[in-house]
């Protein structure tokens, strides 16, 4: 192997050959060190896109990207450590209520999240709607809060899986984002760097998700479970529907408010069901429950007792925020005006296009199309009805949270057109489950 050049390794993959663990490690090390040019890495990524990778290769790629930076040591945390990762959707604020609920049930949740980009929102942007909340904690603080509070919610540091950041930037501009081995290595390298024992994946499927079909979502979920298990972790995946927004809100502060409602025993049924399903899987992998029914009972008890809300207060306070927002959500940023979007026909709502709702929220300032853009925490879209609801002509379909009501007609038209009417058909939230 010592006589092989990087070009030789690229050729091997281009021609459909399998690379060994040391060969893949060499590619990642060379690129991270600047010895492999970006155009060579792009050629390698394109070869992977067309030729694929075996599970052994994908495990090796994941571990090489993982070892390109710091791996957090949480061995001093006595509790089992389980995280959750969502592949991204519209209205997905689950992490905000899930982490404190699971922590309240005895499982530590070290959670490193991302920002919104494109039509999907980001957990960090929603948390930063809480006055003072600081997602930029260093690793020692992260480790301490996971141990003392039970959870900590931060953004990715520059020391964790730096190879992933460089490679993702190339994937984004070279048309190789969709390659499943590259998706798997990107997700798992960051998550395994957290020092977790187990991982639950929420693989979204539908028009508002990255994976549009059940078949593609299953393929991704299966690959994530196999490779994560091959890397020595307990991993399971739940496929959840993203053919409509999750919950009733799309926007940073209003989504955070809705997640707080779940902690108080309120909130939309679909958001509550998704939170409980993922939380139950986390408790099962963490050994805090032996059956799904027992796990859900524990999570519901943490809601009824208020312990989940108390944990969230402690998290917010520890990360510099105002914990009183948990009991007084009106302290979250808000707009001066709301504008009703009215139905122009009577009927039963059978669809709410999540992609169009997400893109419209971005156009209002709730999201970003470039990583360097700021977001407005207060603006957003609040849905007044969901699929299966009967509405009359002139009845509100949604509320636009805006700073200035003038000039919102084009936005209202986009939101109105996202609703479709007809004969209702029930769509299950849980599409499938994949376990190692």
State percent of the chain over pLDDT 90.
Answer: 90
Same domain? 193 vs 312: yes
pLDDT tens digits along 280-314: 999 999 999 999 999 999 999 999 999 999 999 99
Backbone angles phi, psi at 123, to 5 degrees: -60, -40
- Catalytic site residues? 85, 164, 171, 186, 190
Same domain? 303 vs 358: no
Query: What CATH code is carried by the domain that includes residue 168?
Result: 3.40.1030.10
In a domain, 367, yes or no: yes
Same domain? 338 vs 308: no
**366 close to 128: Cβ distance less than 8 angstroms:** no
pLDDT tens digits along 83-121: 999 999 999 999 999 999 999 999 999 999 988 777 888
In a domain, 72, yes or no: no
DSSP letter, residue 348 = E
- Give the distance from CA 374 to its chain's centroid: 19
Q: Could you give the number of structural domains in the chain?
A: 3
Give the CA radius of gyration of the chain. 22
Give the pairing type, strands 249-250 and 390-391: unpaired
- Whether the per-residue pLDDT at 374 is higher than 90: the answer is no
Same domain? 127 vs 206: yes
* Helix ranges restricted to H, 105-179: 123-127, 139-148, 162-174
Q: Which of 328, 278, 329 is nearest to 299 (CA)?
A: 278
In a domain, 349, yes or no: yes
Same domain? 357 vs 242: no
- pTM across the whole model: 0.94
- Whether the per-residue pLDDT at 424 is higher than 80: the answer is no
Q: What is the mean pLDDT of residues 258-276?
A: 98
Q: Which two three-digit tokens encode residue 261? A: 């409602």
Residue span of the structural domain in which 169 resides = 82-329
Residues whose CB is less than 8 angstroms from the CB of residue 293 and which lie 6 or more positions away in sequence, other chains included: none
pLDDT tens digits along 120-175: 889 999 999 999 999 999 999 999 999 999 999 999 888 889 999 899 889 988 98
């Amino acid at each position: 192997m010592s006589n092989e050049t990087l070009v030789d390794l690229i050729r091997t993959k281009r021609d459909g050959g399998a690379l060994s663990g040391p060969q893949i490690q060499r590619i990642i090390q060379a690129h991270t060190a600047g010895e492999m040019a970006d155009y060579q890495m792009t050629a390698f990524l394109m070869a992977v896109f067309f030729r694929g990778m075996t599970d052994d290769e994908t495990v090796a790629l994941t571990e090489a990207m993982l070892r390109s930076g710091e791996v957090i040591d949480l061995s001093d945390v006595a509790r089992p450590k389980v995280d959750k990762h969502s592949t991204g959707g519209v209205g997905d604020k689950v992490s905000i209520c899930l982490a404190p609920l699971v922590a309240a049930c005895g499982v530590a949740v070290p959670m490193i999240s991302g920002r919104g980009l494109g039509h999907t929102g980001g957990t960090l942007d929603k948390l930063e709607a809480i006055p003072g909340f600081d997602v930029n904690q260093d690793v020692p603080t992260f480790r301490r809060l996971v141990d003392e509070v039970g959870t900590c919610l931060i953004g990715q540091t520059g020391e964790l899986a730096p190879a992933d950041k460089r490679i993702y930037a190339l994937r984004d501009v070279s048309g190789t984002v969709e390659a499943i081995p590259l998706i798997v290595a990107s997700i798992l390298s960051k998550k395994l760097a957290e020092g977790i024992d187990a991982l639950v994946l929420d693989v979204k499927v539908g028009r508002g998700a990255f994976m549009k079909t059940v078949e593609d979502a299953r393929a991704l979920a299966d690959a994530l479970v196999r490779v994560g298990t091959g890397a020595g972790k307990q991993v399971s995946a739940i496929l959840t529907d993203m053919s409509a927004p999750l919950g009733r809100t799309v926007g940073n502060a209003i989504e955070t408010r809705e997640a707080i409602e779940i902690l108080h025993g309120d909130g939309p049924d679909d958001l509550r069901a998704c939170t409980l399903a993922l939380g139950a899987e986390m408790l099962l992998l963490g050994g805090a429950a032996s059956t799904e029914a027992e796990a859900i009972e524990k999570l519901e008890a943490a809601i009824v007792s208020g312990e989940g809300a108390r944990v969230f207060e402690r998290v917010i306070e520890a990360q510099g925020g105002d914990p009183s927002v948990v009991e007084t959500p009106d302290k979250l940023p808000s707009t001066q005006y709301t504008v009703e979007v009215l139905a122009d026909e009577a009927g039963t709502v059978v669809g709410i296009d999540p992609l169009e709702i997400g893109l419209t929220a971005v156009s209002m300032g709730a999201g970003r199309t470039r990583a360097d853009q700021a977001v407005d925490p207060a603006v957003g879209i609040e849905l007044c009805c969901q699929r299966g609801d009967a509405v009359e002509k002139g009845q509100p379909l949604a509320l636009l949270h805006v700073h200035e009501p003038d000039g919102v007609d084009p936005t209202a038209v986009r939101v109105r057109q996202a609703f479709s009417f007809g004969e209702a058909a029930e769509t299950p939230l849980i599409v499938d489950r994949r376990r190692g």
